[in-house]
Structure 1
Amino acid sequence: MQLPTFLDIEYCQTDDALFPVAMAWSLTDGRMKTVVISPEDDWLPEDGDLPDIDQRYLDEQGVPLLEIVRELHEDLPDQTVYVDGLDPDEILVDLIFSAVGHEPPFEIAPISDLITNLDRETLEDRRRQLMIDEGLEPQLPENGVYALLLLAREEGLMDED
């Protein structure tokens, strides 16, 4: 059974910058991948001020964009990838792919396009409650993807095993 795929991106936003710092996505077999993103120099604010972001950590642990793009092309070709719909995910994905001159191999859609029997507000309340119940930190993208996987399972879109 092919499972729906999900994506979540953690990002940094300042007055003059918006860029991804970490990303997680699920695969059609239910496995998940997560990566810290090495930012492009032109994404960083000129004054170098990144609130709540450890630039050295991103530089040391971050994966180059070309590697991330290659992996996303392998993992998510010609798929619809669902997001929580709260973050500027489409903008962030475009930033990643345009930095290396590629088009994303997948379409992004909000979870409300997958789970259509609940309104957007109810979906967000349930997602948030799942994160609380599971003790998940909301700022980690892998936790965001896990919560979406749990929500899809609750809605009968995945097997319970």
Structure 2
Amino acid sequence: MSIPRFLDIEYCQTDDALFPTAIAWSLEDGRMKTVIITPDEDWLPADGDLGDIDLRYLEEQGVPLLDVVRELHEDLPDQTVYVDGLDPDEILVDKLFSAVAQEAPFEIAPISELITGLDTDTLEDQRRQLMIDEGLEPQLPENGVYALLLMARNEGLMDD
């Protein structure tokens, strides 16, 4: 049985900016990758206001966009990648890939297209409860991916 692929993106959103700051995704074997993203200069607002985002941290710890895109191409080619459906994931993925003039090698779909027996509100309640039960910090993208993996396992969509 193949394991569905999942992705979660953390991002900066202000009046003048919307861009990805960290991304996590699952691999074919269920392992995960997580990277901090070095923002593109074009993403940064002229006034420098990034709310509670630490630009120095992103610049020091972040992975260059080209490297992030290369890894996503290697890990998720021709896949349907499931997201929680709460964030502007498609916009963020488009922003990431268009910054290096490439197209995403995968399609994004909400978890509700994978787990079809439950409505969106029930799925979100389950995801939120899993985060609480597992002691996961919701702002970390790897925790979002882990919760989606647990949901898929609980629905019998992958082996334990």
Q: How many residues align?
A: 160
Partner Cα distance (1:97, 1:114) in 2: 24
For residue 153 of structure 1, what is the aligned residue in structure 2? 153
The alignment's C-alpha RMSD in Å is 0.5
In structure 2, the partner of 1:124 is 124
Matched, 1:71 2:71: yes
Residue 90 of structure 1 corresponds to 90
Structure 1 segments of 4 or more deviating over 6 A? none
Cα distance in 1 between the residues matched to 2:133 and 2:56:
33
1:30 and 2:30 equivalent? Answer: yes
Percentage of matched positions with identical amino acids: 82
Do 2:11 and 2:18's aligned partners in 1 also have CA atoms closer than 8 Å? yes
SS at match of 1:152: helix
SS of the aligned residue for 2:48 comes to coil
1:6-17 correspondence runs (5 A): 6-17=6-17
Counterpart amino acid of 1:44? L
State the Cα distance separating 1:89 from its structure 2 match.
0.2
The 3-state SS of whatever aligns with 1:34 is strand
TM-score norm. by structure 2 comes to 0.99
Aligned-partner Cα distance in 1 for 2:16–2:157:
40
Kept after mapping to 1: 8 A contact 2:17/2:50: no
Amino acid at match of 1:21: T
Deviation string 1:67-120 (CA, Å, 9 cap, x unpaired) is 011100000000000000000000000000000010000000000000000000
Shift of 1:50: 1.1
SS in 1 for 2:22: strand
Provide the secondary structure at the position in 2 that maps to 1:20: strand
Stretches of structure 2 lacking an aligned partner (at least 5 in a row): none
Normalising by structure 1, report the TM-score: 0.98
- Secondary structure at 1:116's aligned position in 2? coil
Q: Secondary structure at the match of 1:125?
A: helix
Unaligned residue ranges in structure 1 (runs of 5+):
none
Cα deviation, residue 158, structure 1: 1.1
